[in-house]
A and B are shown apart, each in its own frame.
Chain A
Amino acid sequence: MMKAERLAFEYIRRDEEGNVEGITRAVDDVDFDIAKGEFIAILGHNGSGKSTLAKHMNAILYPTEGTIYVDGKNTADEQYLWDIRQNAGMVFQNPDNQIIGQIVEEDVGFGPENMGVPTKEIWERVNESLKAVGMYEYRKASPNKLSGGQKQRVSIAGVIAMHPQCIILDEPTAMLDPSGRKEVLRAVRALNDVEKITIILITHYMEEVIHADRVFVMDKGRIEMQGTPEEIFSEVERLKELRLDVPQVTLLAYELQKKGIPLPKGILTTEQLVREMTRLYG
């Protein structure tokens, strides 16, 4: 579905005369291969290059070196530009800055309109995508009157209406409160489970990655760790080195382990820990 080979991207800073002041390698030598229907989470602290990487996935940025293929198409190839953008939908951080319509349904219809979908089919797509994220009752509302979580779900519906095979979410929950965050994640997981859409979730909240099939941890533009959530979170020391927080339960389990309690590695949820503890002492 999506494949990167030795992908690199450099930001060039120039001074007022246009001389090169410095080069920042935001993405450095990244390789990955994402299969259809996978749920991938990309973790990293601020400035680790995760957003820059995301922008390569639907041809908003082009690689300085290396190549990235979406559905077998090279993103640097101009003739595939619109195919790629339709195939790999993108949801951004700030819901206010990506909603174009003044009414929810008009905004969801924006993508299909741009693609030249016939009017009747636009309506079908809009209704079905709003239902998929549970915002159908709000279709006539003004986006300004919605909560952050609801706005973000509208943004996701706007992407689904383009019938992409893959959705890239660039820190979709960073500006939301905890309940809004849950709403959005539930919608994203449902899309992955029910519609089998490939999800690439970029975040710095550890709790959001535990449902992913695979996790990439980025630092200084490189993918430093790769694996299932269990594998990633069993390396507590390494994560701390990369300045990432570990979910509280995982940390507790890790500390208990260090004190000699024989718990398995990579405990991710409270239920899991409770189960393990009752197995040991119950």
Chain B
Amino acid sequence: MIRDITLGQYYQADSVIHRMDPRTKIVGTIAFIVSLFLIKNIIGYAAAAVFLAAVILISKVPFRYMVKGMKAVVFLLLITVVFNMFLTPGEVLVSFWKFRITKEGLRQAVFMALRLSFLIIGSSLMTLTTTPNNLTDGLEKLMKPLKILRVPVHEIAMIMSIALRFIPILLDETDKIMKAQLARGADFESGNLIKKAKSMVPILVPLFISAFRRANDLAMAMEARCYRGGEHRTKMKPLRYRGRDLTAYLTLAAFVAVIVMTRRIILPF
């Protein structure tokens, strides 16, 4: 289960999306997420779905990679759906014992589920098509104006890029520790929630120790390779907007416009 999280896993392929400037992709993802919250009806979601499907096709990333990312949040999704379904007041459709499913609740639940899954697929598409280094480069450039406010932009970007790089390594390590503890008779399955949480301690303690050790080693390796913060640093892959980025921005603007327009359509449900 632990290996299913795709966030932060780069999928190597040669597509327009991969070659796009990371700033375009970040702005695009944010615009996509914001527009998801602007959507009012099913037509809007249909438009978003078509847009998302088109981008996925262009990106050449197999669809199952995004679904993998979804698995990790299925639980969250279920809770949202259930709460929305039962707790939204309105016209009652079905009712049993103390529970009532309302028309509004059902609608809300479906929309919420769509919104969340689109949101996750959309953002994992960004991380799947952009190397973390590229991603942080993009963020660093986008946040550069904040430097005036003494925000350590470069340092934040570096921290993020390192965190992303170590996610798969630490996941592997968690798997290993889990197996090692299982081999010694640890039980992660039975018992109530509190007992289960307690049984995580023998995994978390060694994991943290190893993470600190890795951080120490990495800091030393970085210093040994002349790392001294963002000053005097040049870029191996400096960011430059190209024609495809303009096309992307225009497409994105068109998409947002379509979404805003769908808000005006009034449907009977």
| Interface contact A94-B217, CB-CB below 8 Å | yes
Q: Give B161-182 interface residues, CB cut-off 8 Å to A.
A: 161-162, 164-165, 168-169
Judge whether B236 and A106 touch: CB under 8 Å: yes
Binds A, one of B114-122, B143-151, B226-234, B243-251: B226-234
Total A-B contacts with CB atoms under 8 angstroms apart: 101
Q: CB distance A96 to B220 under 8 Å?
A: no
Known: A102-B133, A102-B165. A113 touches B233 (CB 8 A): yes
Most chain B beta-carbon contacts within 10 A, residue among A97, A103, A119, A159: A97
Q: How far is the CB of A80 from chain B (nearest CB, A)?
A: 12
B161, B217, B228: the one contacting A92 at CB < 8 Å is: B217
Q: Count the B residues whose beta carbon is within 8 Å of the partner chain — how many?
A: 30
Known: A109-B236, A123-B236, A144-B168. A101 touches B221 (CB 8 A): no
Distance between Cα atoms of A123 and B237 in the complex (Å): 9
Point out which of A58, A111, A113 has the most chain B C-beta atoms below 10 A from its C-beta: A113
Contact in complex: A142, B226 (CB < 8 Å): no
Contact B223 A82 (CB under 8 A): no
* B218 CB to nearest chain A CB (Å): 5
CB of A115 within 8 A of CB of B221, answer no
Contact B225 A119 (CB under 8 A): no
Q: Mark A90-116, 1 if CB is under 8 A from B, else 0.
A: 101010111111110110011111111
Q: Which residues of A contact B (CB under 8 A)?
A: 55, 58, 60, 82, 85-86, 89-90, 92, 94, 96-103, 105-106, 109-119, 122-123, 126, 140-142, 144, 158-159, 162
Given contacts A98-B221, A100-B162, A114-B225, list 13 more A-B pairs with CB under 8 A.
A97-B214, A99-B165, A100-B222, A102-B132, A102-B165, A105-B236, A111-B225, A116-B234, A118-B234, A119-B236, A119-B238, A142-B10, A162-B226
